[in-house]
Structure 1
């Protein structure tokens, strides 16, 4: 851009011409990079985002250690915003609050005093009312920060410095997890148990090439602050830890409490991670109100200090396991916590790491911190030993030193020249107090020198040995594990593991009382369900001029299937049918069946069965009964028919042969396998006709032979039926003498 101006106004050459695509992409890329590295993704070394790191560092500068008193959160937020984090105070305070919430952070880094929100989703009190200080875990993250353990960079206004990363004496990334959404990427790491993390890290120190399967012997899975039961299969968790991406299914913890008179209630004591209790209860109450869970009577929240949600079933006969399985399917009593270990590595590059890489990155960082702290301590020791060495020379030549100081014009230079001292040694001797020239002080100096010499040798040995460095890190991890051991309140595992219960539940029928019924559909389309099994069909009464069309024995938990001449299957719940008093209700009020079409078949759904459906044109196919269920009143179109053609038959496939008869009384027998299995279509030609169409079709076993039922209800066999065999789509041969005059194998439309 040019500096050319006219009367203080930029000239025309100050305008930069740039294509909008280039301008937007370059600026959005800068924004995206800033979001990824400075806001959304945690650093794999300390597990913190910049805002959390700055909060902890500011609290350290305010000396808010566990042994000290709390300070107002407004003071902490003000320091963070003014010195390190130039963003809104609301976002800083929100981050501070989450660091202190025991239901959000598995190991809180901040100890809050006052109202810091609750698991119901209520927000914290204003920052002017609340106070905070660091916990032991927060202090451990900062341990050694004054010992050149990490690099510092200038703050946003370049008036101060802030750490690039914290020393990380606490495995925070896996222990507390992290959530974040950036531009084009996100992170989601659930919390884990510190003692387990330490065990896995110790094993990785011993065996750097350890497989993730082995590490999972130590890290069993997530450990959520709200507890719960993890039902994710181990093989799925292993795959998630191997790839860095996956998820974990978590269920609420519950138990049954017995009440008087055989009644019971269900008590939920732990809910899944990041589920707001108030929203969960509202959702369950809504399910009750909308009758989506008609088997649940009421829900109460008896929350005091611990979660206690009461679920009351409508009947004591409902199985608790079955009730809870249904609620797990319909509510957040079961949720899925995702795993996406997308983090910034040591070079500040975002990438997805597996479990071993995350632990190894933490260990490598701890080793670098150990080395830097050791070098810094070694430098201080060498400086101090240099001074002590000067003191020793002074004590050995005390008289000469005193003479030089008293009589020489330039005592510093003379001391350096006479005793070959360094400038620091000469300055230290000149600054020595007279009372330090006693014999006792001389002994203390020699003792300190010897102690520092021994420490120097140890540090040099440490820096020169990889084995000793890893041994030192292992000792640190053992100390952390001891502080958060499995027997302590904060260290013991809260989330447990269980296999998914092997309960297949159909919510539509799970809580319907199973009773025998008889479904009756009349010729004029009136349907009803009589209680029990009706053996005497003649005892069933109908309206004048009406008669039975279908009488089907069933159970109240069954699905009733109706097949109509339009080629559609309709599904009706047996429990939804009107009772046996009166004549029932018109079937067309329950399903959308057109007036010009009528029912062809009515039967109980059997998912394992296979059906054969055919049209009057002589086309048809086999269809699996599992594929015919309709989810709406409109039914499921399965057999396509056009023009004057209609569906003619729906039968169960029994045996290995198909027999078809046309209106021309010609019969064709062929193998069942010649008919394809389809889910929808016109089908293939079953039999060929010059005149008329299909009259009937059936299936039979070759070993049993072909038979038919006459008008009197007697079963008759077809002699020498093998002479009627041919290939599908053939014309067939005339029916033998004695065959049914009406040209049917079965006189009615029942499913056979």
Structure 2
């Protein structure tokens, strides 16, 4: 239909996964049950826990919502803060408020005590006070001088009514003074002790909770996010990748390794050819290496189990990852997490890292390899740890080939493993205009590929004797090789 949105490959796969386990959904909400949704599985063989986990992980029954935690703090400025910071600042604000309130109340209590003490003194000398008021030209000054009163107390006595100086009022004054002095002591304890202040704060919060609380509608408890784990059958497969980035997985392992021309059973679209056929298992991982951008190379992770089957041309690998803008796919490798790779760049630097180090759960991959200005990643070379019909022994040496035709070999122990990635160490000392065509880990032999006269593709296998002639230590210039063509890459044979 016009305007209808097409489902992506991931959405189609998710829909198929849900329909494979879910049979019926009914809304049984009523007066007795405000919200009641009934989900029925397709088969009774699926456990209740597994069924619930699938629903929570693959639908919006369990979801997270972003919250803009911006608040006006004590400083009066709106700032984005964490929930913990907000609560701490609110508690600090409450402490300041309770302290100010207590101090204000203490001032009022002390003022009232001061007034009542003056009245109490007058009651003991009521006749003399009345005589002074009648006779003196300035009764206020006379009272202050005679009874050592304050200006505030004298003013209060002059304004007081005579009936408030009766005997009954004296008893009330004594009772009020007693209550005020007890309150004064409590307020002074609160202001003088941070612990007492916090106890009062907690007591007030608990009282407010009892007064204003209502039953919680949603249960809040510590729980891990539901993750639907796909059960993958561990079986051998061959991951076939074309030079234009089409990928598929064929059951079983190929009888011969595809290091040169594509075997007859591998067919590709017109103008496409084989990049590599990786013998691995369904539980392994396909690593996709992008081209360099901003002096960095991103590595993308695709589970082998999610690859399309071997029939047809497969699927473009760019539909399985979120490729960084301005880059394209450069290289691939499929194997177990324990497999180690030699990663080198055209600037002559390299290091060793395991597949597990480069794996990421994000479709956008992770930045792992650093390169210099204008440098690119060379084809990764297997060091050891991969599976296949013919197990490759762990490499003992490294062979480097420059585009200028120089070869250098050295022991692999001279290299470092960088679990967090980086640029690595210098592999070969390059001339100013020379670049590294590639570096391969090996035990006995490597194959150098390049372009000969007339633009023809050339390759030559170098055995252990030839490689030993170029033996040196890491970061040396190496020796000029009589290949008859300029190297463009180097791959491991054995």
Q: TM-score, normalised by structure 2?
A: 0.49
